[in-house]
Amino acid sequence: MGKISLEVNGRKVEKEAPDNTLLSTFLREYLQLTGTHIGCDTSQCGACVVHVDGNSLKSCTALAADVNGSKVTTIEGLETNGKMHPMQEAFKKLHGLQCGFCTPGMVMSAVDLLQKNKKPSDTEIRDWLEGNICRCTGYQNIVAAVKEAATKI
Amino acid sequence: MKDFNYHSAKDSKEASQLASSSSAFLAGGMTTIPSMKLGLATYQDLIDIKNIKKLSGIKVSGKSVTIGAATKHVEVSNSKDVKKAIPSLSSLAEGIGDPQVRNRGTIGGSIANNDPSADYPSACIALNATIHTNERKIEAAKFFKGMFETALKKGELIEAIEFQIPEKSSYQKHPNPASRYAIVGVYVAKYKGDVNVAVTGAKSCVYNDKEMSKALSGNFSSSSINGMDLDSSEMNTDMHASAEFRASLVVTQAKKAVDAC
């Protein structure tokens, strides 16, 4: 048991949690931020991707204790004043989702890509999304959405 | 996942003092955490070594590249110094897993784990690496002992890996399309008068293929290993590839590596 202090989506939080608490569990069950999804739980699918200190990671494969003191951004932290983030807008506009399960991870991963590469090519987008699996869309519209968002960010 | 006590060590000394027969060091956790979640491993204590400053960073001297054990894959792949000194090492790091894994996983963790399909062990063998621990220096050729086994003793912590800069080198892998682990990966490095051909993914542990090394030391051209019929009796067979296919892949990847040098 230990104290976990994080800044999540700009808000300081502090909770006691057992040492084996995963970051994904901490976000979902301690902070009720259920936008971060748990899919495979074996770090393959990427539904649980969040940002920690500006970099994307799979929150089902990080201990909350391990990122203690960090700044975390989840899918809930992307909107500003009720307005969707340009990446979310682009996914909506271009049908970059069907069932939506993978979407929070896809969006968080894609936002991290644009932080590092403002104008990615199709190949760079596909390479970057290597760790995010979607079983509905066939990826075409996801790639199109990321390209569209790149023109807006 | 069973409960454990999490510790964050300040330095190598504290980390090894905390170590016991039921502890593990935690670096990026990219293997340790999934293994614990699946119940394949349980520990009473996890000793986080990421916050030990001395363990991160890259130093390039005239002859070698030394990488701290807790240095992340993304740091190796983005390093201009590594790209200049040993470009194949930089591209190997770029091909591990996916961006989120590269943002967390570390070189020391990969080597200490010694997965039979991991990429970095082949770099250690091909690039005549020396593994620096808190107790001693170990040559790569004596470090990798078998499947998930290394020469590390309990409580012994890898601090850095020192690679010798080759004249030419290339790493070519045939990845599993889902995990990006090597079905077969071959790292060829040419030094004055000597060529190493390190193979990962094919057997239970990384190894230097003496037959191909010898042929390439004589004539550094892919034609000198073309059609080589490797013994597949000790090679892995699984749902992804048979031993015979792996034996053939080793030659194909080695040829590609030589051509890319």
Residues A135, A93 share a domain: yes
Interface of B with A (CB under 8 A): 1-6, 8, 26, 29-30, 33-34, 36-38, 46, 48, 50, 74, 97-101, 103-104, 178-180
Residue A68 lies in a domain: yes
pLDDT range class, residue B243, cuts 50, 70, 90:
very high
Distance of CA A22 to the CA centre of its chain: 15
Instruction: Looking at the structure, tell me whether residues A54 and A6 fall in a common domain.
Output: yes
Tell me, what CATH number does A67's domain have?
3.10.20.30
Nearest-neighbour CA in chain B from A152: distance (Å): 23
Distance in angstroms (rounded) separating the CA atoms of residues B257 and B195: 12
Is A81 inside any structural domain?
A: no
CA distances in angstroms from A120 to A113, A146, B94, B174, listed in the order given: 8, 9, 16, 25
User: Where a domain ends, among A34, A54, A76?
Assistant: A76
- What average pLDDT does range B120-141 have in this prediction? 98
User: Is A62 contained in some domain?
Assistant: yes
Is residue B40 a contact partner of residue B29, using CB atoms and an 8 Å limit? no
**Domain B170-260 coded CATH 3.40.50.2000:** no
Chosen for mutation from A42, A58, A68, A70 (greatest number of chain B CBs closer than 10 Å) is: A58
Q: Which residues contact B260 (CB under 8 A, 6 or more apart)?
A: B170, B172
pLDDT at B153: 95
CA pair distance B124, B142, nearest whole angstrom: 11
| Same domain? A62 vs A15 | yes
Domain count, chain A: 2
Residue A42 has what pLDDT?
84
Provide mean pLDDT across the span B28-55. Answer: 95
Interface check for A141 against chain B (CB to CB < 8 A): the answer is: no
Average pLDDT, consecutive stretches of 10 residues, N- to C-terminus, chain A (153 residues): 96 97 98 97 92 97 96 97 96 96 98 97 96 94 98 92
Band of pLDDT at residue B208, cut at 50, 70 and 90: very high
Could you give the C-alpha distances from B229 to B171, B207, B232, B248, in angstroms and in order? Answer: 21, 17, 9, 8
pLDDT of res. B91: 97
User: In chain A, which ranges are E strands?
Assistant: 2-8, 11-17, 49-52, 55-58, 71-73
Strand segments (E) across chain B = 5-8, 23-26, 45-48, 58-60, 64-68, 130-133, 137-139, 144-146, 149-150, 158-164, 168-175, 182-191, 194-200, 207-208
CATH number for A134: 1.10.150.120
Quick one: A92 and A55 in the same domain?
no
Residue B43 in tokens: 């520990």
Mean pLDDT score of chain B = 96
pLDDT in tens, B134-187: 999 999 999 999 999 999 998 999 999 999 999 999 999 999 887 788 999 999
Domain ranges of chain B: 5-164, 170-260
Q: Enumerate the β-bridge partners of residue B64.
A: B164
Architecture of domain B5-164: 2-Layer Sandwich (3.30)
Q: Are A48 and A105 in contact (CB under 8 A)?
A: yes
Rounded CA gap, B109 and B107, in Å? 5
Å from B116 to nearest chain A CA? 19
Does residue B13 surpass a pLDDT of 90?
yes
Instruction: Chain A: give the shortest CA distance to residue B223, in Å.
Output: 32
Kindly write down the DSSP assignment for every residue of B100-163, as one continuous string: HHHTT-BHHHHHHHT-TT-SHHHHHHHTT-EEEESS-EEEHHHHEEETTEESPPTT--EEEEEE
Domain end marker among A76, A96, A127? A76
Same domain, A10 and A46: yes
The pLDDT of residue A63: 97
Handedness of CA B148, B4, B179, A126 (dihedral sign): negative
pLDDT of residue B193: 86
Residues of chain A found within 8 Å of residue B3, distances taken between Cβ atoms: 18-20
B185 touches B122 (CB < 8 A): yes
Which pLDDT score, from 0 to 100, does residue A99 have?
96
Q: Give me the pLDDT at residue B178, please.
A: 79
Burial class (CB in 10 A: 0-12, 13-18, 19+), B134: middle
Q: Provide the pLDDT for residue B253.
A: 98
In terms of domains, do A69 and A126 share one?
no
d(CA B40, CA B233): 28
Query: Do A70 and A130 belong to one domain?
Result: no
Closest Cα in chain B, distance from residue A61 (Å) = 6
Provide, rounded to the nearest whole percent, the portion of chain B with pLDDT above 90. Answer: 96
pLDDT for the residue numbered B78: 97
Q: For residues A42 and A97, state if they share a domain.
A: no
A65 contacts chain B (CB < 8 A): yes
Q: Is residue A139 part of a domain?
A: yes
- Closest-CA residue of A relative to B97 is A131
Q: Are A61 and A52 in contact (CB under 8 A)?
A: no
Instruction: Show the domain range for A14.
Output: 2-76
Question: Cα dist. B191→B165, B166, B174, B176, B180 in Å?
Answer: 8, 5, 24, 30, 29
Angle at B221 between CA B217 and CA B227, to 5 degrees: 100
Q: Please tell me the predicted confidence (pLDDT) of residue B177.
A: 82
User: Of A55, A76, A97, which marks where a domain is finished?
Assistant: A76
- Taking each helix axis as running N to C, give the angle between helix B210-218 and helix B243-260, from 0 to 180 degrees, rounded to the nearest 10: 30
Partnered with residue A4 across adjacent β-strands are: A15
Length of chain B: 261
